[in-house]
């Protein structure tokens, strides 16, 4: 009788969970499953209807180049969806297709409520809404989109986070104030402008003017193009270098006061585009955290505090490297799978083709943005 219910439990059935699950299947691991509290691709299903991938999909497998938005070898969202910039709902269908094609075990409708470490034998007891499960290893792939920062400053509860918007067209009102000018803020602003709304965007910096070749730190080319079109309508105003101090409600309007003393009012609830707390806060005691609020991970993306607990997906950080795009964090799936496979005594030969396809990035020193022109 096995000591544990599973060898590996993967928490989350989004891009990261499905991607690393595909590798475990290829390694011949049978005693594992993905636990998902909603449905496969839940995060993507909850994007606003207008939101699209900013990274383009293109079918190029025959030339040894994996589609930028693919989570598994031998797949391509561009091929299966016939869409260069998929919507969230479309991408969720692609993830469902990967699960079906490769028979990846997924259990939906199960919410993880906690993780307890076991010492003898070493492993984990994972508490869920369907009872407790034990596993030798846990891979946390729950992501961040479903954990928005709702109160980044006093009065934040009076605002509406962009992750709660099902469609920008459905919002009532003609004037909107957006707090946060990075990708999500500019996406919201340009969508609203396209529907004839007047929009102001406030940010502590000026991300719309920042230059760089890393889309994790600057606006993407497709977003900049949409921003130019929105500015040409003269319905969009960008307000930079202003930090929000608080939000209040007076005389039927929402008042946003800046640290500088500037005050802006809006007839509609300000829209928060201030990011996400991340699902790791649910098991924060299992990690060491640096001063920037980033969990400390080893070179194989294992918790430096809790051996056997791995992280994969957009929450992975290594010093100044932000791996928040699929084409970035998917390169670490095989790193995690390799570490676990070695400890389980599995044949790791199938991972060789992942290295050949640039899906096995274990040397982060080469990750530098070097665009000459």
This prediction has a pTM of: 0.94
- C-alpha distances (whole Å) from 173 to each of 35, 187, 199, 210, 313 are 40, 18, 11, 31, 36
pLDDT classification of 1: cutoffs 50, 70, 90: very low
Alpha helices in the chain (DSSP H): 15-26, 42-45, 77-81, 88-101, 183-194, 221-232, 326-329, 333-344, 352-356
Give the model's confidence band at 110: pLDDT under 50 very low, under 70 low, under 90 confident, else very high. very high
pLDDT band at 214 (very low <50, low <70, confident <90, very high): confident
Give 255-294 pLDDT, tens digit per residue: 999 999 999 999 999 999 998 888 888 899 999 998 888 8
Instruction: Read off the pLDDT of residues 119-172 as tens digits, 9 standing for 90 and up.
Output: 988 999 999 999 999 999 999 999 888 788 899 999 999 999 999 999 999 999
Q: What is the pLDDT averaged over residues 238-247?
A: 97
Q: How confident is the model at residue 373 (pLDDT cuts 50, 70, 90)?
A: confident
DSSP letters along 123-138, please?
A: EEEEEETTEEEEEEEE
**Residue 2: what pLDDT?**
60
Position 323 scores a pLDDT of: 85
Neighbours of 71 (CB within 10 A): 27
């Amino acid at each position: 009788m096995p000591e544990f219910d599973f060898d590996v439990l993967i928490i989350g059935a989004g891009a990261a969970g499905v991607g690393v699950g595909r590798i475990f299947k290829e390694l011949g691991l049978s005693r594992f499953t993905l636990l998902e509290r909603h449905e496969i691709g839940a995060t993507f299903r909850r994007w606003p209807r207008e939101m699209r991938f900013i990274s383009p999909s293109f079918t190029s497998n025959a030339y040894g180049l994996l589609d930028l938005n693919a989570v598994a070898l031998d797949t391509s969202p561009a091929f299966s969806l016939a869409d260069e910039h998929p919507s969230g709902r479309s991408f969720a269908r692609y993830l469902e297709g990967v699960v079906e094609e490769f028979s990846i075990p997924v259990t939906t409708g199960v919410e993880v409520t906690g993780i307890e470490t076991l010492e003898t034998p070493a492993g984990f007891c994972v508490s869920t809404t369907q009872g407790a499960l034990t596993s030798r290893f846990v891979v946390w792939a729950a992501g961040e989109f479903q954990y928005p920062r709702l109160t980044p400053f006093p009065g934040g509860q009076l605002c509406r986070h962009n992750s709660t918007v099902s469609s920008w067209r459905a919002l009532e009102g003609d004037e909107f104030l957006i707090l946060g000018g990075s990708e999500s803020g500019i996406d919201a602003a340009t969508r609203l402008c396209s529907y004839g709304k007047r929009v102001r965007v406030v940010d502590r910096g000026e991300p719309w003017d920042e230059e760089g070749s890393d889309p994790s730190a600057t606006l993407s080319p497709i977003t900049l193009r949409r921003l130019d079109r929105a500015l040409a309508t003269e319905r969009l105003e960008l307000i930079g270098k202003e930090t929000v101090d608080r939000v209040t409600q007076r005389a039927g309007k929402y008042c946003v006061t800046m640290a500088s003393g500037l005050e802006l009012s809006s007839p509609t609830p300000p829209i928060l585009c201030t990011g996400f707390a991340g699902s790791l806060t649910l098991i924060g005691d299992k990690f060491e955290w640096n001063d920037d609020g980033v969990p400390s991970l080893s070179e194989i993306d294992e918790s430096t505090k809790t051996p056997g607990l791995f992280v994969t997906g957009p929450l992975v950080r290594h010093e100044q490297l932000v791996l928040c795009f699929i084409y970035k964090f998917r390169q670490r799936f095989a790193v995690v799978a390799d570490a676990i496979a070695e400890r389980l005594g599995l044949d790791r030969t199938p991972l060789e083709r992942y290295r050949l396809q640039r899906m096995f990035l274990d040397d982060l020193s080469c990750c530098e943005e070097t665009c000459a022109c």
